[in-house]
């Protein structure tokens, strides 16, 4: 059996880092970890080929070669996915679709032969059994939450790791919290399930054996959802990192209660984590309560962020506008919060009602849903009727973006961050030439030809004299800012 696994193209969003990648000669931010894992769940004697359309073009020869076409993706890849499906069906090939995009939205696709929904460890064996007997069903789904300690190591042989800015692995699935706009608990449940520590080491060994040295993103939606078990994993991981002389720098997603657990932060540092993405959403207490984000209430969020950053873990954060409790002061409050906290990588998006979430059901019941979710919460579109005047909401959202990514505010925020941050991550740079080129390209782009040259040099020399060990970090953050501004320009056009 010949199988072609296809990963659709991402549009240019804040998360794509499309305009930052050329600085380090990379083609995509992250590999399609889901499809690499699916490959390991399929029979070993099958011939497999993967086309990541963020790296390569999908060729007719690839489609003709295959007996089966597997496609997976996120909601933001929906348009590209449908285009791929249409193209593949023109060759009369069987299309098998799965992953987050299809698990919550498979009814939007009409020309897929079989959907493998939910978690593949459960549904792929059901599909394979019917495939062998020649009785494929249109949908394979299951509410079962599998034991992921039995999940195989991803098949890294299918990609060229050098094309990516970071590799990735998964430690856990599920989140204990109940935010009404989030679809993670819909797909993976509220009881975090973890892989075993030795299993994580096996995955690390596989990445190490591929020759990769650099960033590894732990893709968990809440890495610290089960603090007791994750500490066991971190202790084992710290030992491995030390033994291997710290080949990777790790980053992940978590929740603000990380700031309350000094032991957990110390263990993350020992395992060589240097950043964490946290969903802040809004500094407004009543809005947080209204959307079920109680874990962010009754605390000084700015101080919690600074506690984490003083430890040596950079906080990246997500913010959302469009909640029913939002008011005309919300936009400036978010700007003030971002600037004061020193969150350089601040991802601000419009609220989106994702399929099957509590938010979607509530809005649908009151006839406020107008279209399906695009998965891109930065494209100035809404899929529901907001309480605030829509035009005022969009204008306020644009004000936030144009302010926080404007060079003066952005470079000032880098300095605020660096004043608090203490870098402790260990990593030996292996491609000095790439780093050298990226550094001087950045100086030219931001200090000679770019917008806000004065503000860039002010930040540059402050860092050079006050925090010289963090100069590379400051330049990296400047590259992120360039990417955010380029995305914003293209959205507005």
CATH number at residue 86: 3.40.50.280
Q: Alpha-carbon torsion 343, 348, 351, 352, what sign?
A: negative
437 in the same domain as 415:
no
Residue 256 placed within a domain: yes
Q: Are residues 349 and 397 in the same domain?
A: yes
Same domain, 400 and 481: no
Contact 104, 75 (CB under 8 A): yes
In a domain, 335, yes or no: yes
Rounded to 5°, the CA angle 362-289-340 comes to: 125
Sheet hosting strand 139-140, strand order edge to edge: 47-52, 2-7, 68-72, 94-98, 114-116, 139-140
pTM of the model: 0.95
Domain total of the chain = 3
The whole-angstrom separation of Cα 62 and Cα 430 is 34
Checking if the pLDDT of 430 tops 60, the result is: no
pLDDT tens digits, 369-414: 999 888 887 888 899 999 999 999 999 999 999 999 999 999 999 9
Cβ-count burial 62-95 (b if 16+ within 10 Å, e if not): bbeebebbbbbbbbbbbebbbebbeebbeeebbb
Residue 115, SS3 per DSSP = strand
Both 100 and 175 in one domain: the answer is: no
Strands (E), 82-208: 94-98, 114-116, 139-140, 166-169, 172-173, 193-194
3 state DSSP class of 81: helix
Q: Which of 375, 396, 420 is the last residue of a domain?
A: 420
Q: What is the pLDDT of residues 443-452, one digit of tens each?
A: 999 999 988 9
> Which residue range forms the structural domain that includes residue 450?
432-492
Length of the chain: 493
Distance CA 124, CA 45 (A): 16
Structural contact between residues 399 and 336, judged by C-beta atoms closer than 8 angstroms: no
Identify whether residues 186 and 301 lie together within a single domain: yes
Cβ count within 10 A of residue 406: 17
Question: 46 with 114, same domain?
Answer: yes
Q: Which residues contact 231 (CB under 8 A, 6 or more apart)?
A: 263, 264, 267
pLDDT, position 422 = 86
Q: In this structure, are strands 273-281 and 314-321 parallel, antiparallel, or unpaired?
A: parallel
Are 235 and 357 in a shared domain? yes
Question: Are the C-beta atoms of residues 136 and 109 closer than 8 Å to each other?
Answer: no
Residue 145 lies inside a defined structural domain of this protein: no
Q: Which of 376, 400, 420 is the last residue of a domain?
A: 420
User: Cα separation of 35 and 46, whole Å?
Assistant: 15
State which of 420, 446, 470 marks the end of a domain: 420
Q: Read off the DSSP letter of residue 53.
A: T
Q: What CATH number is given to the structural domain containing 228?
A: 3.80.30.20
Give a yes or no: residue 426 inside a domain.
no
Taking CA atoms, 436 is separated from 22, 163, 410, 430, 442, in Å, by 14, 18, 24, 11, 10
Residue 245, sorted as left (phi over 0), alpha (psi -120 to 50) or beta, turns out to be left
Cβ-contact 161, 210 below 8 angstroms: yes
Q: Do 456 and 395 lie in a common domain? A: no
Residue with tokens 């990379």: 26
24-33 pLDDT tens trace: 999 999 999 9
Whether residues 321 and 224 share a domain: the answer is yes
- Residues 28, 76: one domain? yes
- Does residue 322 form part of some domain? yes
Report if residue 192 sits inside a domain.
yes
Give dist(CA 35, CA 63) in Å, integer.
Answer: 17
- Average pLDDT score over residue span 132-137: 96
Return the H-helix or E-strand segment holding 279: strand 273-281
Tell me the DSSP string of 319-341. Answer: EEE--TT--TTHHHHHHHHHHHH
Residues 106, 104: Cα–Cα separation, whole Å? 6
**Are 81 and 192 in the same domain?**
no
Give 283's pLDDT tier (boundaries 50, 70, 90): very high
Expressed in angstroms, the distance from the first to the final Cα of the chain is 46
pLDDT of residue 429: 56
How far apart (Å, rounded) are the C-alpha atoms in residues 405 and 264? 32
In a domain, 317, yes or no: yes
What span, in angstroms and rounded, lies between the C-alpha atoms of 376 and 441?
30
Instruction: Give the integer Cα–Cα distance in Å for 454 and 334.
Output: 26
Model pLDDT for residues 180-225, shown as the tens digit of each residue: 999 999 999 999 999 999 999 999 999 999 999 999 999 999 999 9
Q: Are residues 100 and 229 in the same domain?
A: no
In angstroms, the CA 95 to CA 374 distance is 22
**Which pLDDT tens digit goes with each residue over 57-87?**
999 999 999 999 999 999 999 999 999 999 9
User: Does 149 reside within a domain?
Assistant: no
Tell me, what's the pLDDT at 428? 58
């Amino acid at each position: 059996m010949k199988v072609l696994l296809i990963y659709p193209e991402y549009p240019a969003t804040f998360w794509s880092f499309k305009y930052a990648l050329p600085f380090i000669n990379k083609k995509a931010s992250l590999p399609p970890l889901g499809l690499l894992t699916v490959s390991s769940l399929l029979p070993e004697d099958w011939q497999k080929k993967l086309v990541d359309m963020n790296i390569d073009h999908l060729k007719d020869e690839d489609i003709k070669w295959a007996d089966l076409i597997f496609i997976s993706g996120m909601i933001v890849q929906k348009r590209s996915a449908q285009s791929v499906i249409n193209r593949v069906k023109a060759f009369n090939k069987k299309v098998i679709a799965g992953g987050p995009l299809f698990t919550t939205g498979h009814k939007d696709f009409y020309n897929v032969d079989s959907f493998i929904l939910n978690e593949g460890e459960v549904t792929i064996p059901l599909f394979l059994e019917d495939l062998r007997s020649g009785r494929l069903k249109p949908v394979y789904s299951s509410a079962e939450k599998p034991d992921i300690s039995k999940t195989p190591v991803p098949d890294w042989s299918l990609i060229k790791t050098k094309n990516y800015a970071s590799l990735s692995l998964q430690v856990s699935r599920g989140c204990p919290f109940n935010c009404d706009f989030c679809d993670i608990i819909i797909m993976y449940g509220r009881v975090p399930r973890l892989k075993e520590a030795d299993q994580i080491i096996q995955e690390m060994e596989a990445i190490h054996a591929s020759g990769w040295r650099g960033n590894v993103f732990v893709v968990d939606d809440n890495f610290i959802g089960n603090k007791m078990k994750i500490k066991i994993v971190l202790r084992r991981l710290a030992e491995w990192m030390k033994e291997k002389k710290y080949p990777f720098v790790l980053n992940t997603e978590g929740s603000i209660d990380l700031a309350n657990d000094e032991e957990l932060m110390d263990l993350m540092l020992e395992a060589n984590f240097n950043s964490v993405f946290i969903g802040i959403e809004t500094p407004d207490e009543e809005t947080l309560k209204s959307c079920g984000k109680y874990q962010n209430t009754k605390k000084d969020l700015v101080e919690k962020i600074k506690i984490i950053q003083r430890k040596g873990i950079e906080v990246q954060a997500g913010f959302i506008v469009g909640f029913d409790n939002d008011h005309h002061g919300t936009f400036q409050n978010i700007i003030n919060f971002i600037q004061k906290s020193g969150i350089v990588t601040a991802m601000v998006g419009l609220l989106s009602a994702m399929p099957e979430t509590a938010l979607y059901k509530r809005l649908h019941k009151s006839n406020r849903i107008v279209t399906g979710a695009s998965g891109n919460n930065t494209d100035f579109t809404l899929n529901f009727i907001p309480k605030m005047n829509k035009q005022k909401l969009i204008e306020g959202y644009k004000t936030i973006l144009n302010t926080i990514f404007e060079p003066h505010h952005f470079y000032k925020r880098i300095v605020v961050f660096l004043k608090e941050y203490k870098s402790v991550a260990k990593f030996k740079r292996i491609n000095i030439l790439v780093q050298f080129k990226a550094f001087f390209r950045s100086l030219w782009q931001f200090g000679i030809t770019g917008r806000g040259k004065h503000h860039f040099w002010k930040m540059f020399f402050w860092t050079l004299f006050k925090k010289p060990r963090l100069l590379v970090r400051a330049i990296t953050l400047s590259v992120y800012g360039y990417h955010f501004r380029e995305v914003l320009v293209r959205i507005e056009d």
